[in-house]
Amino acid sequence: MDVARIDALRARPVAPGSHIIDGAPRPASDGAVMDVVSPIDGQVLTTVPRGTADDAAAAVAAARAAFHDGRWSDLPPAARKAVLLRWADLIEANALELAVLGVRDNGTEIAMAMKAEPMSAAAAIRFYAEAIDKLYGEIAPTGPGNLGLVHREPVGVVGAIVPWNFPLMIGAWKLGPALAAGNTVVLKPAETASLTLLRIAELALEAGMPPGVLNVVTGEGAVVGAAIAESMDVDVLVFTGSGATGRRLLEASARSNLKRVYLELGGKSPNVVFADAPDLDEAAKVSAYGIFRNSGQVCVAGSRLLVERSIHDAFVEKLAAVARQMKVGDPLDPATGAGAVNSERQLAQNLQFVEEARAAGRRIALGGGRILEETGGYYMAPTIVAGVAPDDRLAREEVFGPVLAVIPFDTEEEATALANATDYGLAAAVWTADLSRAHRMVRRIKAGIVHVNTYGGSDLTVPLGGVKQSGNGHDKSLHAFDKYLDLKTAWFKL
């Protein structure tokens, strides 16, 4: 990685951001701005508009007009594909700039950010661009004298609200299929991670995307997000974030036009390690990275470690040894293994979970506190809490930080029960050399993805979605198109 280039980009001032509405930059309608505070050092990096409900309405109106006149939806799929492929190329060409900008904004370590943000976003946009002219309609198997055709049509205006942990990656999971299918989009970034999404919207225009097709409005969720959710002109709403916000979006749908709402709401994912795991050293290494990379700010993070009692103490020590070797600090240093926590508020929430566990008598096997406070940034040591009881808050609620809850088990049946003892159902993992056990656990664990002898591995070819209170619908894979295409039946009497 080009360290000199990273340092040069780090030193570059960041111009104040603007909404992108109908193909042009705009300030907030009342001129208000929000400070962008870098978690690297706690200093103000730049500002972005503090959007208003009027700004959201203007973006929705632009998206509706662009959809209605067909400047995008009526293009042949191959023409939309060409624009999207140019866009992906521009994102890739500007990958280091985007990665550094994103790291300064949200604190992800640069080695992870390069792969998981611009490069992942470019790959997702290419995937859906290449797929769109390969989706066919259907001919129904009707009787003689009738002809039934099933058409796939874009739904219209999509509202997309994305989180701060991987804004480009998660944004592209939504923008790729939504735009490829011919929809127009109003995108609302998180308050603490807007800069890279504003930048790729500029690149979309440079690639030839018509004005009004992709609009980005920054601001507070309670204002801009709520206005998008309540709009009568938004047809589908997609969201990744907290369960509390997801519930408010469903309520807004009910109050407005009953728009479809697809939610990815995080998890409390179990990572189950049996004594017969094929390589316990590898399991410890992968499990450590599965919770501590990006300071635990990953929706599928393996935040509950369930370990067979016979290997419990030895495995926890293996895990701690790996975590001790991870460098926590400046996320723009390529040697850093875990960067900054996104905000001071998030850091305080992480620490509160640890203090509650400590007060309950749980053993802090590693970490447990804030570090590098002298930098002004928001850093937390990788933390392992052993002896956690299944009904502890730390075992039930998502922390979204580098805090691992460890729970022992004795039998496969107990491990299954513990794995499912949560309101969430996003991800899980099972480590075992017993193939039959692996298949049993995959079937029995209630989660959208179950890893076997790994953690966190998948690509765009497979769907990502949750069950229970982890949400509905799927990002990634061809199944993502289901959210953005309507089925229309044409019935002919011959």
- What is the rounded distance in angstroms from the CA atom of residue 299 to the CA atom of residue 203? 27
Sheet holding 363-366, edge to edge: 363-366, 383-386, 403-409, 304-308, 270-273, 427-431, 449-452
End-to-end CA distance of the chain: 65
The CA-CA-CA angle for residues 154, 157, 161, to 5°, reads 120
Query: Using CA atoms, how far apart are residues 59 and 373, in angstroms rounded to an integer?
Result: 40
**Two structure tokens written together for 320:** 């701690």
Is 367 in contact with 350 (CB distance < 8 Å)? no
Q: Name the pairing type of β-strands 270-273 and 427-431.
A: parallel
Q: Which residues have a catalytic role annotated? A: 264
> For residues 110 and 328, what is the distance between their CA atoms, to the nearest angstrom?
12
* CA–CA gap between residue 88 and residue 94 (Å, rounded): 10
Contact of 133 with 159, CB cutoff 8 Å: no
Q: Are 397 and 375 in contact (CB under 8 A)?
A: no
* Cα–Cα distance, 71 to 30 (Å, whole number): 30
State the pairing for strand pair 157-161/184-188: parallel
- Per DSSP, what are the bridge partners of residue 298? none
